[in-house]
Copies of this chain bind each other. A is one copy, B any other.
Amino acid sequence: MRRRTPEELGIAAVVVIVALVLSAISPTFRTLENAQILLLNGAVIAFLALGQTFVLLTGGIDLSTGSNVALTGMIAALTMSVGAPWWLAALAAIAVGILVGTVNGSLVHFLKLPPFIVTFATFGVAASIPLILTGASSVSVKDPFFAIIGRGSIFGIPMPVLLVAVAAIVFTIVLRLTPTGVHIYAVGGNQETSRLAGIPIGRTIVLVYAISGMCAAFGGLIVTSRLMVGYPSAGSGNELFYSIAAAVVGGVSLFGGIGSIPGALLGAVLIATVSNGMNVVGVQSYWQPLVIGVIILGGIIIDTYRRRVPLGELLSRLVKRRQAAPADQA
Contact = CB atoms under 8 A, between A and B. Distances in A.
Contact of A286 (B112, B131, B248, B293): B131
B118 A297 contact: yes
Interface residues of A, number: 53
Copies in the complex: 2
Interface stretch (A22-30, A121-129, A204-212): A121-129
B121 A286 contact: no
Interface in A279-330: 285-294, 296-297, 300-301, 304, 308, 329-330
A117 B249 contact: yes
Contacts of A197: none
B286 A114 contact: no
Nearest to A67: B289
Contacts of A286: 128, 131-132, 135-136
A159 interface: no
Interface in A63-117: 63, 67, 107, 111-114, 116-117
Contacts of A296: 117, 120-121
Interface of A: 59, 61, 63, 67, 107, 111-114, 116-118, 120-125, 127-129, 131-132, 135-136, 192, 195, 241, 244-245, 248-249, 253-255, 285-294, 296-297, 300-301, 304, 308, 329-330
The list of the 9 closest CB pairs from A to B, nearest first, reads A124-B293, A128-B290, A121-B293, A124-B289, A131-B286, A121-B297, A127-B289, A128-B289, A132-B286
